[in-house]
Structure 1
Amino acid sequence: MKIGVIGIGVMGEPIARNLKKAGLDVTVFSRRPESCEPLREAGIAVAGSAAQAIAASDAAILMLPGHKEIDAVLGRDADGRIGISVEGKTLVLMATVAPAYSIALERAVVAAGARYVEAPVSGSKTPAQTGQLVVLAAAADPMQLDALQPAFDAIGKRTVRCGAVPGAMRMKLANNLLLIASFEAITEAVHFAAAIGLDLRQFLEMAQAGPLANDVLRMKAPKLLTDDFERQAAISQAFKDIGFVCDEAEALGLWLPAARTNRVVFGEAMRRGQADEDVIGVIKVLRDGMPMTANA
């Protein structure tokens, strides 16, 4: 299989490496050409544009920050039509976007003569590096997922098939509601433990020995002990995704108090310029004692 990866960053780079390691023919493109140089040195082909990467591939993964960047690389016009040649190709959206946007993008891709697959992934930097992501996949035709399974197996430990679009995106949002709540709860518990005079190392060792021990706690505990805010999962991504959750909930008339509170907390971290920090950076907001407002 010839596969493209468009968007080379914290997730895109290890995904491209693992696809190459699995023996697939990989071509990459980034809006920041310098980010592709380590992959070029590893023997991976680098395209000069998204159109070239798609032309060189049977399927092209879009691992981009959001709607704006996806539209830009596909050359979508004001009416949503795709401006580059994608006919006969499969476009695989691995970014997390609003379900309504994914539905609209599927229509545009099909109108342009191509196939569309949703495949957002659960996991951050370390699982991406080790090929331990969970792939959430949805498509109009299950055979499209069958064709992509070797690529999914190269980057993930499990593929969860979620029916038709936007089933995978909705699954991802439900998962991220749980994940983001976990990030904030762990950070808040550490903040509370410090404030009441506990030994933080002892507290975190106890937590990891108890019923709430999990991979998230294991990854975040050493970072919280040292105020290591280098990103594994960025505050900007958590804020974007919890916003999508809240938008979906509001459209359905659902009350999700934890989601709404986390939109405020992560939004405050964004306002303070912490977008590129790891999610545990919200502990700075907690330390400053930001009062919750009516916007929660």
Structure 2
Amino acid sequence: MEKVGFIGLGTMGLPMARNLARHGVALDVWNRTQKAPDVFPDGCDVAFARSPRAVLRGSRTSILMLLNQDAVDAVLERDTAAFAENVRGKTIIGMGSVDPSYSVALADDIAQAGGAYLEAPVSGSRVPAENGQLVCLLGGDRAVAEAAAPLLRPMCKDQIHCGAAGDALRMKLAINLYLCSSLVALAEATSFARKAGLPLDKFTQAVAAGPLSSDFVTIKLPKMIDSDFTVQAGVADAHTSTCLIRTEAARLCLATPQLDVSSDLYARAVQALGPKVDMSSVISVLN
């Protein structure tokens, strides 16, 4: 069976790779920090490669689920003589969240080296990743996206082609603008209910019964109430996302006043609690 490469086994990447393995996809994987082989279920065809280069050159298709664009450049060995050999004749699927302009330039570099690039950021956090319920936003050649669709299916409940490279990431930023600002509003409402002495179980019930109910609220509201900041979607990632949104909004000459306030609150939460807590921890800087 032909191996698929998977680079980046972090909070999101590991459950995504597990879902591929459970569905019979043979994987060559690599992570910056070593993972124990038993992180994958017994019987899965998963091999741990010695380097990103070994993954890229040993697989016709490789998925990158990495923290940022510096990490992407590092594993692809971009701007070195090895880059072309790493991507020539290959399909590189970038599933992390990076600057759209960076992604456009990367797509051009990969194409010039004789490879194909599919921009495929996902909407969702660790729980949807574990359940294969992510939403995948696709940017790039439609034929490449269609060829990749069966591979993406075990990880994603929906695949939405948004246009050219850059467009899927802009779509992700638009969604995250709404999501990150909404979470801060939920934190404010929860703080209001607590300070007003309202029974928080009844507050939860009222939210669930009303028009604002969603899977996202169902997951995040109990974490805020219980101060359970075990990471699902990291607060540092939320802050990084808001910074990417602000940068793109500036390019578009677009005002984002709610997002700007939210970004500053996420930054304060990172400073107060560190980067390895959930984005719901933003409530702590309100309390």
Could you tell me the TM-score, scaled by structure 1's length? 0.91
Matched with 2:9 is 8
Structure 1 residue 56: Cα displacement: 2.3
**Deviation at residue 225 of structure 1 after TM alignment:** 2.4
Listed one character per residue, the Cα deviations across residues 1-32 of structure 1 (whole Å, up to 9, x for unaligned) are 53211000111111111112222221111011
Report the CA distance between 1:66 and its aligned residue.
0.3
Which residue in 2 is equivalent to 1:130?
131
CA deviations over 1:50-77 (Å, ceiling 9, x no partner): 1111122221111000011111111223
Q: Distance in 2 between matches of 1:251 and 1:36?
A: 44
1:82 maps to 83
Which residue of 68, 71, 91 maps to 2:70? 68
> Residue 125 of structure 1: CA displacement?
0.5
Asked if residue 58 in structure 1 is aligned to residue 53 in structure 2, the reply is no
Output one character per residue of 1:60-119: Cα deviation in whole Å (capped at 9) or x when no partner.
1110000111111112238x9937522100011100011111011112211222110000
User: What's the CA shift string for 1:187-218, capped at 9, x where partnerless?
Assistant: 11111111111111111111111111111111
Matches within 5 A, 1:108-147: 108-139=109-140, 141-147=141-147
Aligned to 2:242: 242
Q: Which residue of 2 aligns with 1:26?
A: 27
* 1:168 correspondence with 2:189: no
For 1:100-249, what aligned pairs fall within 5 Å after superposition?
A: 100-139=101-140, 141-249=141-249
CA distance in 1, matches of 2:273, 2:208: 31
Q: Which region of structure 1 is more displaced relative to structure 2, 37-46 or 7-16? A: 37-46
Query: In 2, Cα distance between the equivalents of 1:276 and 1:112?
Result: 37
Do the aligned partners of residues 36 and 54 (structure 1) sit closer, same or farther apart at CA in structure 2, a change above 3 Å counting? farther
- Which letter maps to 2:112? A
Q: CA deviation at 1:138?
A: 1.2
SS at match of 2:27: strand
TM-score, scaled to structure 2: 0.94
242-251 vs 269-278, greater mean Cα deviation: 269-278
Residue pair 2:4, 2:28 contacting (<8 A) in 1 also: yes
Aligned residues: 285
Q: 1:29–1:36: 8 Å Cα contact kept in structure 2?
A: no
Counterparts of 1:275 and 1:24, CA distance in 2: 32
What amino acid maps onto 2:46 in structure 1?
I
Distance 1:189 1:46, change over 3 A: same
Deviations 1:204-259 (A, max 9, x none): 11111111111111111221221100011000111011111111111222111111
- CA distance in 1: counterparts of 2:58 and 2:35, whole angstroms: 20
Question: 2-side partners of 1:250 and 1:36: how far apart?
Answer: 44
Q: 1:161 to 1:209 in 2, by over 3 A?
A: same
Aligned mates of 1:101, 1:157 — CA distance in 2: 27
CA distance in 1, matches of 2:111, 2:29: 23
Tell me the secondary structure at the aligned position of residue 40 of structure 2: helix
SS at match of 1:229: coil
| SS of residue in 2 equivalent to 1:161 | strand
Greater CA drift, 273-282 or 204-213:
273-282
User: In the aligned structure 1, how far is the partner of 2:119 from the partner of 2:82?
Assistant: 18
Percent of aligned pairs with the same amino acid: 38
Matched position secondary structure for 1:151: helix
1:274 corresponding residue in structure 2: 274
Distance 2:227 2:155 in 1: 30
* Structure 2 residue runs without a partner (length 5+): none
What is the root-mean-square deviation of aligned Cα atoms in Å? 1.8
Q: Aligned equivalents of 2:225 and 2:4: distance in 1? A: 40
Structure 1: give runs of 5+ residues left out of the alignment.
288-296
Give the C-alpha shift of residue 147 in structure 1.
0.9
Counterpart of 2:97? 96
Counterpart amino acid of residue 128 in structure 1: A
The AA in structure 2 aligned to 1:73 is: V
Kept after mapping to 2: 8 A contact 1:117/1:144: yes
Counterpart CA distance in 2 for 1:241 and 1:203 is 29
Distance across 1 between alignment mates of 2:191 and 2:82: 48
